[in-house]
Structure 1
Amino acid sequence: MMTAHIKDKTLLQANNVSLRYGDNIILRDINFCIKDIIRPDMQQGQVISLIGRSGIGKTQLFKILSGLQQPTGGSVTIHDGQTVRAGDMGVIFQNYYLFEWRTVYQSLMLAAQKNNALKGNEAAMIEHYAKAFHLEAELKKYPQQLSGGQRQRASIIQQLLKGSDFLLLDEPFSGLDVCVLDNVTDLLLQVSVSDELKTLIIVSHDITTSVAISDTVLIMGNEAGKPGATIKKEIDLVERDLAWKKDIKKEKAFIDTVEEIKACL
């Protein structure tokens, strides 16, 4: 039985987004709408997986959604129709940007101090996330002293501390061992239910892991005879009763959905 829920006001809208460089069309007719999911007696954020094969234009769309790149045509709006701008979203790129001249703790404190909701509790929240992400021993180190996986986790914490309603994650599961992968996925789920309006958009090649924590899947690809990539298919995992469940990866309907997604790529 499908979990009781309603979809309420629009949080993010992509409307006829296109991108071209000269005569080269990268993206065309990108349309989708993310609505506030409301469930009885709980806060429920949104988790969207954006999936497509390498080179299809996911990174360009990622930058447009975050306001870091302007589309050639169309628009991306958030909340009550406001055009998205750089800084409106927490963005976690694959290259894990950190301040190289500050310790991990100093970088995280700088992020926490930008979030008024944390006033007075910055240090406690840094400790909380550091423990959850297995980074307690690295807080006094500089970024160049960290492994790639540690830099990635520090970068995720940095954006979580800033407290944006929107969190865009580029390959958040790459380079993580199994133990840390489980911790990161659990924490992202915790983040998604920390606030009714919290919205996570995950770009990942790890289809199984990202879909397992999502409520919606957007599949990017090309269509025969048309240049540029578009959203070929949208899968509502709530309608399929595949959202918000522990151990969902073992269910046949979930396995079949992952195969369906792969067949679209």
Structure 2
Amino acid sequence: MSSPLELGTETAVHVEEVVHVYGTGADAVTALGPISLDVPRGSFLVIVGASGSGKSTLLRLIAGFERPTAGVVRTAGALPVPGAGAGIVFQQPRLFPWKSVGGNVGLALRYAGVPREERARRVPELLERVGLHDVAHRRTWQLSGGQQQRVAIARALAGDNPLLLLDEPFAALDALTRERLQEDLRRVSEQTGRTSVFVTHSVEEAVFLGSRVVVLTSRPGQIALDLDVPLPRTGLEPDELRPSPSTRPCVPPSVMPYATPPDDHHRTGAHMSTPLAAKLTLRPLGPHFGAQIEGLDLATAADEELAAVRAALVQRKVLFFSGQTLDEDGQVTLGRRLGELTASHPVVGGVDEAHPEIYALDSADNGFADVWHTDVTFMPRPPLGSILRAVILPPTGGDTSWADSQLAYDSLAAPVRELADQLTAVHDGNREFGYYLAQRRGGKGSVWDGEVVTRLDPVEHPVVRVHPETGRKGLFVNPGFTSHVVGVSEAESRHILDLLYAHLTKPEHIIRHRWSLGDVAMWDNRSTSHYANRDYGTAHRVMHRITLRGDRPLGPSSPR
């Protein structure tokens, strides 16, 4: 194992005796350390390890998103500051879907302090560098997954930061696209000479990209191997650089066993620490989740303000906005600025022909939601989030409550968390919507994920979902659509789900909202469940909801 260098001008990253612990007391988990290493300027370090080895934790410490429990991390000789001194590429591209490809890169340049005239020149240069010079005008949702990740790399390069941090950026891509992007990244690294720290599960990817490979043990992550890669960095074609048995590091099987990722009790705050978040006036509604956003008109909000809303949504999970003047057109426009809209519902049609995206919850048409549920989990790709607007309200009653599924998971006893981590559950929409699909829609529902819904086949999802943006775990079962747990008896399944439901809906996990006309609520469907009170008798209640397209839920043991 290489010993740390003396910290000097040739050291880009210095990590000294770092230990990082999540949680406290009996729930404390040591995710990393002790670990020490130095990364020389201009080098390409690749960190390899199994799930739970602390790879991403180490990267977040280097980025300044978290502070180590013990030890010191320095970049360029100083304590790291989030958003300063390093360009970061995450596992998901995290682009702004309402902006063009060029607009995403231009926004990064703007926040790097680049003048307008200079931005106009540099955006095409950066896109050319990642092979996207001909798509600058397109919206990001029109691109493939590989192209979106190239935009993310261009954005990370925009600030001229001397350090580039990459957290498994190609893990979700197919093999051919992954190899092309590996080649692009290696070329860009050679051209810019920036110091890079890259996290991956793949030894082959590590050898192809890195000038040096560090292999971490399973939790708590410590350095098991620290190897220089015996390949020239320039002058060879990509096929010549792909590792052969003679160049691939020999990694003992004992170094890389599978391990469950550490409990991410406190892996939030990176979003709200960005400059964008400072533009919002946010009043927390509880110690852990929920917030009222004050003084923001959603109909006229600037792109930067909506970017801050999107970041706050991930951290606070449920956001409320009062005094809004949105109509149907305005609600749809808002949704499109925040993400890609789905159809109103897989089974139920839109509110009218002009607004197929709006799902009307009308009490006069059995539009009730008086059961705890997470929206549309009976589909393979449930929505990312929902935006709900009050249209007609009863004089009293009709409140909505939300439960924080991540807080509920965190507060389970450790043995129950370990059990839940291993489980898969079936979600079935037939009980609620099967009759509606067959009788009222004639067996032909909406277009969902590119296909017309003609039947509701039950789907399986992990009982514990890992949030794709924060890495936090949360319970992903709900009484509305979860039918049973896979691989256990009916009685065992019933008792397991009853335990989880009762825990999820404990008062300390819940916030409740009393509606007024002009209110708009947004929630992260990946980390919450909700319930609408049906306590207003024959009074009329109408709510309009739109949903943002989501991804396939992944659990602690799902392949990344």
C-alpha offsets along residues 63-120 of structure 1, whole Å, 9 cap, x if unaligned? 11111111111111122x3111112211111121122332221111122345578985
SS at match of 1:102: coil
Question: 1:25, 1:12 → 2: CA distance?
Answer: 22
Instruction: Decide which moves more: 138-147 or 202-211.
Output: 138-147
Matched, 1:216 2:212: yes
CA contact (8 A) 2:55 2:216 kept: yes
1:234 aligns with one of 204, 207, 226:
226
Larger Rg: 2
Give per-residue Cα distances to partners, 1:123-174, cap 9 Å, x unaligned.
4443344345443454223333333322212111111122111101112333
* Deviation for aligned residue 1:24: 1.5
Partner of 1:127: 124
Evaluate the alpha carbon distance shift between residue 131 and residue 191 of structure 1 in structure 2; reply closer, same or farther with a 3 A threshold: closer
Q: Is the 8 A contact 1:133 1:180 kept in 2?
A: no
- Which whole-Å CA distance do the structure 1 matches of 2:125 and 2:202 have between them? 27
CA contact (8 A) 1:101 1:142 kept: yes
Q: State the alpha-carbon separation in 2 of the partners of residues 112 and 101 from structure 1.
A: 17
| Residue type of the alignment partner of 2:34 | D
Where does structure 1 lack aligned partners over 5 or more consecutive residues? 1-6, 37-44
Identity of aligned residues (%): 25
Matched, 1:202 2:198: yes
User: Which of 190, 193, 216 is the equivalent residue of 2:190?
Assistant: 193
Give the corresponding residue for 1:244. Answer: 233
TM-score by length of structure 2 reads: 0.39
Distance 2:253 2:118 in 1: 43
CA contact (8 A) 2:20 2:32 kept: yes
State how far apart, in whole Å, the 2-side matches of 1:192 and 1:250 are.
18
Q: How many residues align?
A: 240
Gaps in structure 2 of 5+ consecutive residues: 1-7, 257-560
Say which of 119, 136, 143 aligns to 1:139: 136
Distance 1:63 1:94, change over 3 A: same
Task: Name the CA distance, whole Å, in 2 between partners of 1:9 and 1:214.
Answer: 18
Aligned: 1:159 with 2:156: yes
Question: Is 2:129–2:188's contact at 8 Å kept on the other side of the alignment?
Answer: no
Whole-angstrom CA distance in 2 between matches of 1:186 and 1:72: 36
Shift of 1:203: 0.8
- Tell me which protein shows more strand as a share of its residues: 1
Between the aligned partners of 1:176 and 1:84, the Cα distance in structure 2 is 30
Distance 1:137 1:191, change over 3 A: closer
Q: Which moves more between the two structures, 12-21 or 54-63?
A: 54-63
Task: Name the residue aligned to 1:13.
Answer: 14
The residue type paired with residue 242 of structure 1 is L
The correspondence for 1:61, drawn from 58, 61, 64, is: 58
Q: Which moved more, 1:109-118 or 1:160-169?
A: 109-118
Q: How does 1:34-183 map to 2 (within 5 A)?
A: 34-36=39-41, 45-79=42-76, 81-87=77-83, 88-114=85-111, 120=117, 122-176=119-173, 180-183=177-180
Q: Greater shift after overlay, 242-251 or 23-32?
A: 242-251
Separation (CA, whole Å) in 1 of partners of 2:169 and 2:48: 13
2:89 and 2:153 in contact (8 A); partners too: yes
Q: Secondary structure at the match of 1:150?
A: helix
Distance in structure 2 (CA, Å) of the matches to 1:202 and 1:85: 19
Distance 1:261 1:242 in 2: 21
Aligned-residue CA RMSD (Å):
2.8
Q: Which has the higher contact order (CA 8 A, sep 6+)?
A: 1
- Please, what TM-score do these two structures have when normalized by structure 1? 0.78
